């Protein structure tokens, strides 16, 4: 029987300047996916004007996002990374290079490197119920290594 539970997922975010020792993310929200990654389009095909099949592969960045509990330590740490790297006139950016090591409960480990935070909320939003909205942080990476669990 296959257990596909995600309970116990951890993301270790290593940020070159801001958090060189890394910060572990585990405070995932209940109303957003703890870890999400859109499908990656690695190749395409076409037909030439004389009916010849043409194929090509293309490099793509790997995108992931995580949703964390608002105002949690994990939210505050991710917001610190955002603030350190956000640019504006008269402000210096940390220009951090980010790596994330995702450790799954089944022992699989995915290491993403050569990355940047690309999307994040700048201010805390709220709902009409008076509740702070879940914070979604998105990253893009140039490299990925997957280590499957032992015995897989």
DSSP 8-state secondary structure symbol assigned to residue 149: P
Q: Tell me, what CATH number does 55's domain have?
A: 2.40.30
Residue 1's pLDDT band (cuts 50, 70, 90) = confident
**34 falls within a domain:** yes
CA-to-CA distance for 138 and 151, rounded, in angstroms? 32
Residue 3's pLDDT band (cuts 50, 70, 90) = confident
**152 falls within a domain:** no
Burial of 139 (0-12, 13-18, 19+ CB in 10 A): buried
Q: Tell me what the pLDDT averaged over the chain comes to.
A: 95
The sheet carrying 109-119 orders its strands as 19-25, 10-15, 98-103, 109-119, 135-147, 62-68
Q: What is the pLDDT of residues 106-145, one digit of tens each?
A: 999 999 999 999 999 999 999 999 999 999 999 999 999 9
Task: Give the structural domain span for 56.
Answer: 10-147
pLDDT at position 7 is: 94
- 55, β-bridge pairs: 45
């Amino acid at each position: 029987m296959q257990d596909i539970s995600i309970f116990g997922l951890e993301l270790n975010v290593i940020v070159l300047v801001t958090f060189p020792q890394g910060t572990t993310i585990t405070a995932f929200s209940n109303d957003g996916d703890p870890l999400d990654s859109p499908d990656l389009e690695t190749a395409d095909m076409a037909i030439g004007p004389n009916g010849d099949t043409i194929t090509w592969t293309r490099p793509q960045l790997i995108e992931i996002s995580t949703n964390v509990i608002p105002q949690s330590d994990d939210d505050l740490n991710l917001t610190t990374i955002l603030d350190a790297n956000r640019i504006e006139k008269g402000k210096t950016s940390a220009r951090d290079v980010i790596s994330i090591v995702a450790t799954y409960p089944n022992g699989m480990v995915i290491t993403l490197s050569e990355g940047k935070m690309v999307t994040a909320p700048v201010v805390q939003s709220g709902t009409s119920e008076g509740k702070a909205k879940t914070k979604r942080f998105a990253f893009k990476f140039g490299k990925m290594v997957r280590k499957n669990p032992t015995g897989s």
